[in-house]
Structure 1
Amino acid sequence: MKSGKDRDGIAMEHDIVAFEMEGAGVWDEVPCLIVKGICDYADSHKNKRWQNFAAATAASVMKAILGRYVASERGRPSRSQSRFGEFPHSHSIPCIRNYEVVKRQAEVKKLHQLLSNPSACQAAALWGLGGSGKTQTALQYAYQRWDARDCSVFWKLGLDDTKNEENLLEAVRDKIKSLESWVLVIDNTDDIKVFLPGQSSGKTANLIRYIPQSAGKSGTGLWTSRDERVDAVVGPGRAIEISRMTEAEGRELLYTKWNKKDIGAKDVTITKLLEELEWLALAISQAGAFMRRTQTRASEYLKIQQTPGVPNSVLGTWHISIERIRKENQLAYHILNALAYVNNQNISEKMVAEFAKFHGERAPIDWKDFKDDDKEHIAADDNYSDEQSIEILTALARLKEYSFIQIHRDDKKQKSYSMHKLVQDAARFGLSAGLIVNELKSGTSSGGERYYAAIALKVMARLFPGNKPGLSWQQSEKYVEHAVQAAEWAEISGTPVRAAGLLQLCYFLVDRGYSLEARSLELTEKNLSICQQALGGRHPDTLYIKYRLAHAYFRNGAKQLAKDMTNKVYPLQREVLGNTNLDALRTLALKAFILCDEGEFEESHRLLTQAMRRCRDDGKEKSYAAAIILDRRAWLSMKQGDHEKAAKLASSSLKIYQKKATKSIQTIRCMELLAKLYVDTGRYSEAVPLGESALDLAKARWGSKHLTTNFLMHILARSYFELEQYAKAEPLAKEAVRVGQDLPGRSHHATLMRESKRLLADMSKLGY
């Protein structure tokens, strides 16, 4: 810590303004917060004249901190109380209290009236345009309830069942229900249909079952949404519209953000400006922040707002600031536009740094720039110079100063950024409408829209490597929402299939588990549309997408669609690519697999035999295509009840897979199949080494919480048990049951779950 260079590096990375030495270690012994006034700095440069001032500063800060906490006469819970869950009231509100918020008196009053019954479970909702102040009003209500210390307060940013496990949601719901008094805020619930019975299907159907209902207890549910139909969830007459601010509220907010004193006299210019901003809270806040930052007068800002060519809407508010950013800091402007084409939450500095690499490129991005080389899919490095890091951090700071982005830190103090959806809309609108003079030679009439959409795809191809060898499932997980969002803009980028590794994203979603397969299907359909437009219906890439779409249909249960698609694409692949092309044989193998699943064993066997004969005739009996065909023949034999033959075929397939791609998904799945066949035929001593190797590969690729990993745990535990290796069987069976209960789609391996529970019961009788 004596090195100034080290301190500067740490300060830059963690936003540190000072280093405390003398008090360090006190908090290791006593839970405390150290407040210290400073009159010396660095290596003891000190001015005694400032010592009294520093002490007074520390005292005033301490007083301000204590003022944030409400005094309480309650004693601490006893140890016995804590053990049985009788905890004092607590809160989980992710947003800090906003002391600059302008209270929406009428809306808050109506909200308290709707939620005034202290002895009933009740609900209300706030709805309105994005940026109208719904979240701030809900935040105000939540902190008022928390300040009263009459209940526990919880906050959930929407509900998306693809990101949560059923058991976890049920456990949280049941815990909240058990409390005597609680408030639950469900913020940004814009997809209302997932909360209504019969309005959606699959894993997102009827999420209302996870919302606690406490009969005879005081429970409050507060929803915010852009959708007026939220009253179908909370009840007729219980949804409050958060619309335009009143003139008094708008003036107060503008002056607060502008850091000016409202003299009280009615100012026609201010009124006109608020009218231009459509009295929208977020727009007023942004305008005030701009005027404060740039020392701009209201009349000057109004003149810019009314300039011909600038849309007379709230989107124009951000256009003014975006244009200012472009003139002040080109890198910040570049990052802002690129971020408009990814998810608006959980934006990492690594992502921003990758966007920064494209700053200053003069040539348009073309789809031919996106190669199939593995280097394109290797996660981006972190080798940035100090100068580059400072430039990026300065650009981010400028965006924050203009209220374009917000900074967040998780429990591990890791920094991330978010951007309001309306800001993204404004950035995209400016690019598409040509409001901003784009200095990049994009080669299109739509300004930089195509350019920045393509950048988002390019960066996701680097950061989201999908299922490339040597890259784990966990590495891709944190970028999946950004990749999905970037894929939504693939069409306007003019970039066909390979542009953002869109196929890699589809593979990942299918491979991750059942809960995301529907999204994979949607993206594959989009992928096909883009590819057909760009390359035509007979291009090899287009044909391959059709095969992937057939595969996606089959995984989603649309077997007839899958069958129809294979019947269409296979003849084209034979004509364009040849009989022994890998893609053509893949499609033929899928067609046979679908027939096998439908019980048409003879036709399935005929097709697979035909495919293998073609491989032999072409000298490819040891090729990757041959391994796929042998794999499918093993499944067919297993379905027909001939497990011995199935094991031989799977073993032959595995030998080829292991030579071609040791750690590929196909290799792991083939090992899984063969291990199952060994167990089914009582060959436990052969199942153990194979199962152990497969489990290691599966854990390295997907982690423990994956269906394939869990399946391998079950069959390996069974093998240990049958070989009387109980010390190995017992912990593995326990882990398999524990993890398996939380997996989506666990009905697919319900038999294995029952079997592992039976094994545990048997081992318990044996003393394990």
Structure 2
Amino acid sequence: MQWADFLANEAATHSLSPEQTAAFVERLKTENSGKSEAKLASELNIGAAAFKKRMAEVYDKFAKSYPELATSNSRGKLEKLRACLTNKYNGGQDAHPTIKEIHQNIPPAVPFDKFVGREAELEKLHKQLQTSRQVAIVAVAGMGGVGKTELATQYAKQHLQKYQGGVCWLSAQGIDVGSQILIFAELKFKLIAPDDWELADRLRYCWQNWQQGEVLLVFDNVTEYKKQVQPYLPPESPRFKVLLTTREKFDRTLPQLPLGVLKPLAAMKLLKLPVDRERLKSEPWVAREICKFLGYLPLALELVGRYLDTMPDLSLETLLKRLEKKRLQHEAIAKANSLMRYEYGVAEAFALSWEQLDENAQRLGCWLSLYALADIPFSVEAIEDDNEQELWEKAIAQLRKLHLIQWQSKGIYRLHPLIRQFFQMKLDESSEADEVKTNFTAQMVEVVKQIPQQPNREDIFNLTPHIPHLAEVATHLSQYLSDEDLVWPFTGLGSLYKGQGLYQQAEPWYKLCVEVAENRLGLEHPDVAASLNNLALLYESTGRYSEAEPLLEQALELRKCLLGNNHPDVAASLNNLAGFYVSTGHYSEAEPLHQQALELRK
């Protein structure tokens, strides 16, 4: 066993907190023997005083096993603790039972000090396993790439001393799980049941004669609980603990530890592990943006970190631009790194879940990917056909079960940034991509048509959740809008912001509306006139009269030219221009325009 793993187990045996464990492992690592406490504190991103305090707490806890630590000074305590632990590691006569006496087949794991951001989850997992009655089954669930297997591996290694009856690691995707249990029992305990017995009887024999002490069984990568786990569970006994890792979401009868993405600070720490620290310090803002773009997903962060390590001259800013352009297809995250235990790139990891979805769930995932990266208002209650509504409910349930969408509240969902990219990639690969995008934009136009020209507080409250998605259509999907619907998203967004008095946010949408309408429809089109009119009224509201007047005049002349002098829109333009003159105190110019508009409307 590696020294770092041994230290991690000693930390668990002496009930060190995650903070104490980090200081203890860093201080006792062989390569750090000549480093000062200040230097080690800096590497842990804490102050020297905090590091010294944590080590003092470590000495106090180890003093229960090694009383001689209590009578030594600080430097003496370190040397005595190192000597005691080295003796134990080498199997000295005074050593307590070591890990070599505990039978296990745990797969390799990253060194404890490089396993970041999951301290709270490890602690919670241990509490769940210890407090559950009889067979404790805890599902470490989550989408691909969040580190489910690594968390289970770290837990098994750090708490190995607790499981004196051994840790049996079982791959749910490997050979028959029952056979794996029999092989473990034979190799570790010399338990051999007669070949002519049924499998259930042979397993029962192994459980009855299993080595004494608490036992941890890990079923890794479970996809079918009833088939891969249930038939092989040990008898109901408090000493048998069972841990699952799975992408699926079970019902509440099974205790679970949902595993999400990392917190931003932990994500940055993970990115730093393979990358030179000074390199990240030179572009700190870009490093944060890379973490955000990757959605703080551990797999993506580790792949990008290792990629940067192989490209010492590549700037973070250049990499970010390439990631934004190529997205999941960029080589930094597309393929697994040969030095990593995980065998998939990000898209490949997501594809494993995609393949478990039926056609309706896949179609729904692609549809949801067209929404912006924000809370998605999506309710099936408005669907009148009961059978169709049930189909969509089942599709939502499938996506949730595999953690491909996140439920926020009733009728509100969210997609992880990289999952959204994956669904968009799948949509673009299909022959229905253009049709789906056209239908999506048409549906969003129906939403925007609910926005009145002067929205009140209730209108704004009900429609605000749709703002980012209308912006997504206007910014990235406008080519799929019909000519008749082209200006709706832009005018709707402008009206929502203007109605709240947020004129600065409204202006870009009104200006973009004019630009898009002119480019698509030409300079002589009624929607261009309407767009000019809306922008002019916004300028008038903000006192920018010199910019408003020519636009109002231009809109009026264009409407007369296109619609003739006897048209309601011409009357509206006359009225708007008259109102402008009233606002600027030009009453003599306003009066005839008002009269003209009145006669025309009559």
Same structural fold, with TM-score higher than 0.5 when normalized by the shorter chain: no
Quick one: higher RCO (CA 8 Å, sep 6+), 1 or 2? Answer: 2
Q: TM-score range by the shorter chain?
A: 0.3 to 0.5
TM-score, length basis structure 1: 0.34
